[in-house]
Amino acid sequence: MRTLHSKLPDLETTIFAVMGNLAREHNAINLSQGYPNFPSDPMLMELVSKAMKGGFNQYAHMLGIPALRKAISNKFELLYESSYNPDNEIVVTAGATQAIYTAITAVIQPDDEVIVFRPAYDSYVPSIELNGGRAISVELKPPYYNINWEEVRSKVGEKTRMIMINSPHNPSGTVLSENDLLELQAITAGTNVLILSDEVYEHIIFDGEAHQSVCRFPDLKSRSFITASFGKTFHNTGWKIGYCCGPKDLMDEFIKVHQFNVFSVNHPMQVGIAEYIENADRYLELGEFYQRKRDLFLTLMKDSRFEMIPSKGTYFQAANYSNISAEADMDFARRITIEQGVASIPISAFNLNKRDDKMVRFCFAKTDDTLKQAAKILCKL
């Protein structure tokens, strides 16, 4: 009999697959997985179709087509008054998850430590462990999920190679402030600690807040990878198109890995997106669009027994259900999917040691009718 020594012996099936499959099995309204159930802009579809018909169907440039890299560079200058060289500091990737994995693989050596804020998107820790690194967790607790920077400072040591941040934050919907980034900059100043900043929801931020990208802070920028997602921005998560940017010395290492785990990314979609984002309004209006969704969902849920602090970003809303049930969050999420027909994500799946705070996450990137149907059911619990 063959003996296999698993690199991830304790890893379970991702919670997104578990709850997504359960929702399909029971024909439940799926507020679990983070994808819109409404179409993208027909104009973007037409631009991609035009590119296909125009013959852009072979391998794209390894780093991404020049037009798209230039458009990404222009976006940073417009939004953050910061610049990345499109020739060697920007790489188009097969989604942000690939960008995150590639960045970690490029720089993390065995026994390096990576500070991760939990709850955390579930690809972070496995990506660290697959590369021989150790995830050092800093726990964020509801309802506000604020970072204790003194705790972070206490955990930075000789083996610390990277700190991973995510703002707007999945699954809590919180955002980092300017002061948060200044604290991070102060803690890492004069060290060799790198930053991996997951900014996939950068355009989905509410209530007049500004996204605090690491590129706004010169010292942080000099040591940081930024990962982002066109799929999240343009309602096409299945296209798996994102990008990574950073200073040239970091991106040189990133490219060494990228060329062998992906090499190049869907060509006609790059052509279509490059033309589409020439009009900045197509992403600048996203926050207002999703704030209307958030506000509608909160209004629909105001008579429920869930307790919710309004999401400040992303298209997720965290909710405490302790007034409804004493069940573990996984049991609660499974039960309301099967018996009530609404699927959510139990937040313990993202926590250190699956700490259970009686919290679930709902995705409100859905049609208004879907949100109304789901809220009608949830308000009866």
Q: Is 177 exposed, middle or buried (0-12, 13-18, 19+ CB in 10 A)?
A: middle
Confidence grade of residue 2 (pLDDT, cut at 50, 70, 90): confident
- pLDDT the model gives residue 380: 97
- Residue 343's closest CA among 363, 359, 326? 363
Q: Is the pLDDT of residue 1 over 80?
A: no
Structure tokens at 360: 């679930």
- pLDDT the model gives residue 299: 98
Reported as a single tens digit per residue, the pLDDT across 36-74 is 999 999 999 999 999 999 999 999 999 999 999 999 999
Counted residue by residue, the chain has a size of 381
Among 25-29, 33-37, 363-367, where is mean pLDDT lowest?
33-37
Q: Is the pLDDT of residue 80 over 80?
A: yes
Return the beta strands (E) in 15-95 as ranges: 29-30, 90-93
How high is the mean pLDDT of the chain? 97
Helix (H) or strand (E) holding 245: strand 242-245
Reported as a single tens digit per residue, the pLDDT across 89-133 is 999 999 999 999 999 999 999 999 999 999 999 999 999 999 999
- CATH architecture of the domain 15-40+284-378 equals Alpha-Beta Complex (3.90)
- pLDDT the model gives residue 50: 98
Statement: 42-279 belongs to CATH 3.30.70.20: no
- Residue 318's closest CA among 352, 283, 351? 351
Where exactly are the structural domains of the chain?
15-40+284-378, 42-279
- pLDDT the model gives residue 90: 98
Confidence grade of residue 307 (pLDDT, cut at 50, 70, 90): very high
